[in-house]
Amino acid sequence: MSYAILVLFIVSLFILYTRRKSRQYPLPPGPRKLPIVENLFDIPTGGFIWLDYAKLCQKYNSDIIHLGALGNSIIILNSAKTVSDILEKRPLVSAGRPPATMLGELMGWGGAVIFRSFDDFCKAQRRMISQGIPPTDPKRFHTKQISATHDLLRVLPQSDNVMRSLQIWAAEFIMDVTYGLDKEEAQKYLPTALEALDSMSEAGTPGAFYVDQIPILKYVPEWFPGAGFKRKAREWSDLRIRMTETPFNATKERMAKGIAKPSFTLTALEQLNETQDSTNQIEVIKNASVAVYGGGSDTIVATLGSLIICMLMNPEIQSKAHEQLQKVLGPGDLPTFSDEPSLPYITAIALEAVRLHPVTPLGFPHTLSQDEIYDGYFLPKDSIIMPNVWSILHNEEDYPEPYQFKPERYLGTDGRIDPKVKDPTTAAFGFGRRVCLGKHIALASLWISVASILTCYTIEPELDEDGKPMKPRAEWYPGPTLFNHPLPFKCRFVPRSKDIETSLGVGAM
Ligand code: HEM
C-alpha cells in the first residue's frame, strides 16, 4: 500500500513538474486575449479567411500564432517549415481532428474518416481505402478515367454550365470507382450528393454555428426560439443518410443478384471477415465508401474549374500547350496516360492550378493529442492546428511571382519537370498521418482531363451580342467557407480540328 502511495506521489510530482515546465514557455504570439472570450472577436469569419490568417501572422511577425476562444486553443502554421515540424515530424501527436458538434454529432458525419479522431475506426477506414485504391497501382483506374473524360469532351461545347458538366464528369468516374454504378445512376444520385456536400461545407465553416463553441446547446429542443440549427441539422442529417445509404444499398443488391461491377465497395464487402463483428465492418465499409465518393468529387471539380479559368485568362499558355500536344500526338489522336512523360507542359499546367488555387487553402484542421513545446512556445493539448496551405503555396521564395499563373516555373532548361522546384502537391493534399488518400487518383484525373480538353479545344471567352469577346468571370466563392471553389463561369470550347471530331465519334461539335 505504502509502495502504491509512493508511486502516486512520484507521478504527481512528475505531472506538476512537467505542467510547471510547460508554463515556463509562452504561447505562440497572437492578438491580446480578453477575459473569458479571449480572441473570439479576432477569429476571421468572413470569406477567404486564409488571407486574414496570413495577415495576422504578418502582423505578429511569426509563422506560428495562437488564438484562444471560449477555452479552445487554435494554432495557425503559416510556413512549410512549421507545418513540417509539427504535422510531419510529430505525426502521431498531431493526427487528431477537432470535435465537431454540428457536423459530427447533430448531422451524424462523425463516423466518416475525414472528421474522425485518429482512432481504430478511422485507421480501419484509412487502411481499407489505401488497399482499395492503392497509390502503387496507378493504372487500375485509367480506363474509367479516360472513358469519363471522353464523355466530358463530347458535352463541353454544348454546355451552358461548365461547373455542372465537370460535376457530372467527376461523379461519373468516382461513382464507378466507388460503387460500380454506371453513368445514368451516378447522375441520379448526384443532386443529393451535391446538396449534402454543400451542407457539410456550410456546417464545417468555423464560427458558422455557436453549438460548436458551446456544445451544451445541442440539447436545446428544435421548437425553442433560436434553435434553427437543430432543424437544419435534422434536414442535413437526412441528406447524409441518403448520400451514404442509397448507392451502398444499390451495390449490395447487385452483389446479391451476382451482377455487381468491380468496385471499391464490392471488394470490401467480398472481404468481410465472417469471424468478426459484421455490423462494425459494414459501418467501416459504408463510411470509407462515402469518404472516397465525397472526398473525390468536389475537390477535383474545383481544381479543374480553376484551371479552365486560368486557361481562359492566359491564351498564350494555351497556345504553348497546343504546340506541345501537336508535336507529341498524331492528327486525331486523343492523349493517353502513356503520353504523360512526353507532355511536361501539361503536367506543369496541372501543378500550377493546384498551387495557385488550392481547394483547401487551410488544409484540414488537425488536433494535438498532448502538450508540446515547439521553438520555445507552449502548444497546449487539444489545440486545433490549421496549416495555412495558401501561404505555403504563395511563398515568394519557392514560387517567384506567386500570384501569376506560370507553368514554366516547374520546367528545367531541358523542358522537363525540374525536381528542384518545390512540388505544390506536397502541401495541397494534406499532412502527416491524415494525408489525402486519393491524391494519385486526383492528379491522374486532372492530368488526363487537361491534356484531353486542350487537345480538342481552344478555351475562349463568351461573345457578346456584337460578337465581341466578353471579359471572363474569374471569381471564387466568397464564403464564408473553408473551401476555395470557382463561381460558375461561361466560356466557349472551340474545336481545334475535324480529325478530333471523328475520334470522339461526334457528328458536329
Ligand atoms: C484535387 C483533389 C483533392 C484535394 C486537393 C484533396 C485534399 C485533401 C486534403 C487537404 C485532405 C486533408 C488532409 C489533412 O488532414 O492533412 C484530404 C483528405 C482526404 N482525401 Fe483528399 N483531396 C483531393 C481528392 C481526393 C480524392 C480523389 C479522394 C478519393 C478517392 C480523396 C479522399 C480523401 C480522404 C478519404 C481523406 C481523409 C483522410 C483522413 O482524414 O485521414 N481526396 N484530401
pLDDT tens sequence across 381-431: 999 999 999 999 999 999 999 999 999 999 999 999 999 999 999 999 999
- Residue 454, judged by CB atoms within 10 A of its CB (0-12, 13-18, 19+), counts as buried
pLDDT score, position 202: 85
The grid cell for 484 is 476555395
Report phi then psi at 86, rounded to 5: -95, -45
First-last CA distance in the chain: 87
pLDDT score, position 348: 98
367 Cβ inside 6 Å of ligand 1? no
- Which residues contact residue 109 at a Cβ distance below 8 angstroms, ignoring those fewer than 6 apart? 100, 103, 115, 200, 240
Helix (H, G, I), strand (E, B) or coil at 372: strand
On whether the 90-364+395-504 domain is CATH 3.20.20.140, my answer is no
57 Cβ inside 6 Å of ligand 1? no
- Which residues contact residue 232 at a Cβ distance below 8 angstroms, ignoring those fewer than 6 apart? 199, 203
Distance CA 44, CA 173 (A): 36
Q: List the beta bridge partners of residue 366.
A: 385
Helix (H, G, I), strand (E, B) or coil at 235: helix
Question: From ligand 1's centre to the CA of 465, what distance in Å?
Answer: 43
Given a contact cutoff of 8 angstroms between Cβ atoms, the answer to whether 353 and 303 are in contact is: yes
436 Cβ inside 6 Å of ligand 1? yes
- 374's enclosing H/E stretch is strand 372-374
Distance CA 392, CA 24 (A): 30
288 Cβ inside 6 Å of ligand 1? no
Question: From ligand 1's centre to the CA of 177, what distance in Å?
Answer: 16
Q: Which atom of ligand 1 is nearest to the CA of 302?
A: 1
- Which residues contact residue 386 at a Cβ distance below 8 angstroms, ignoring those fewer than 6 apart? 53, 74, 75, 76, 77, 362, 363, 365
pLDDT-based confidence at residue 16 (cuts at 50, 70, 90)? very low
Given a contact cutoff of 8 angstroms between Cβ atoms, the answer to whether 197 and 244 are in contact is: no
Binding-site residue numbers for heme are 436
Report the chain's mean pLDDT, rounded to a whole number. Answer: 92
CB-based contacts of 15-21 (< 8 A; 24+ apart in sequence): 18/371
pLDDT score, position 13: 44
Query: How would you classify the pairing of strands 457-460 and 492-495?
Result: antiparallel
pLDDT score, position 70: 81
451 Cβ inside 6 Å of ligand 1? no
Given a contact cutoff of 8 angstroms between Cβ atoms, the answer to whether 445 and 138 are in contact is: no
319 or 472, which is more confident? Answer: 319
pLDDT score, position 21: 47
Identify the residue whose C-alpha is closest to ligand 1 atom 40.
114
Considering only CA atoms, which of 176, 451, 425, 124 is closest in space to residue 296?
176
- 378's enclosing H/E stretch is strand 377-379
440 Cβ inside 6 Å of ligand 1? no
Domain range summary for the chain, segments of one domain joined by +: 90-364+395-504
Q: List the beta bridge partners of residue 65.
A: 76
State the sign of the Cα–Cα–Cα–Cα dihedral 48, 51, 52, 57.
positive
- 146's enclosing H/E stretch is helix 142-155
483 Cβ inside 6 Å of ligand 1? no
What tens digit of pLDDT does each residue of 445-487 get?
A: 999 999 999 999 999 999 999 999 999 889 999 877 888 999 9
Buried/exposed 342-374: b ≥16 CB within 10 Å, e otherwise: ebbbbbbbbbbbbbbbbbbbbbbbbbbbebbeb
Binding-site residue numbers are 436
332 or 502, which is more confident? Answer: 332
Instruction: Determine the residue of 429, 433, 435, 449 to mutate for testing ligand 1's pocket, defined as the one with the most ligand atoms within 8 A of the Cβ atom.
Output: 429
Given a contact cutoff of 8 angstroms between Cβ atoms, the answer to whether 295 and 465 are in contact is: no
The grid cell for 54 is 496570413
Q: Which 8-state DSSP code applies to residue 215?
A: G
Distance CA 131, CA 108 (A): 26
364 Cβ inside 6 Å of ligand 1? yes
Helix (H, G, I), strand (E, B) or coil at 339: helix
What would you report as the CA-atom Rg of the chain, rounded to the nearest whole angstrom?
25
pLDDT-based confidence at residue 220 (cuts at 50, 70, 90)? very high
pLDDT-based confidence at residue 506 (cuts at 50, 70, 90)? low
Range of weakest confidence among 63-77, 270-284, 403-417: 270-284
Identify the residue whose C-alpha is closest to ligand 1 atom 41.
434
360 Cβ inside 6 Å of ligand 1? yes
Q: Which 8-state DSSP code applies to residue 437?
A: S
Given a contact cutoff of 8 angstroms between Cβ atoms, the answer to whether 229 and 209 are in contact is: yes
Question: From ligand 1's centre to the CA of 226, what distance in Å?
Answer: 34
The grid cell for 453 is 480538353
Within 272-313, where are the H helices?
278-295, 298-313
pLDDT score, position 509: 43
350 Cβ inside 6 Å of ligand 1? no
Question: From ligand 1's centre to the CA of 329, what distance in Å?
Answer: 32
Rounded to the nearest angstrom, the gap between the alpha carbon of residue 232 and the centroid of all alpha carbons in its chain is 24
Taking the C-alpha atoms of 101, 107, 112 and 118 in order, what is their torsion angle to the nearest 10 degrees? 10
403 or 204, which is more confident? Answer: 403
pLDDT score, position 23: 66
Rounded to the nearest angstrom, the gap between the alpha carbon of residue 60 and the centroid of all alpha carbons in its chain is 29
Average pLDDT for 228-249: 96
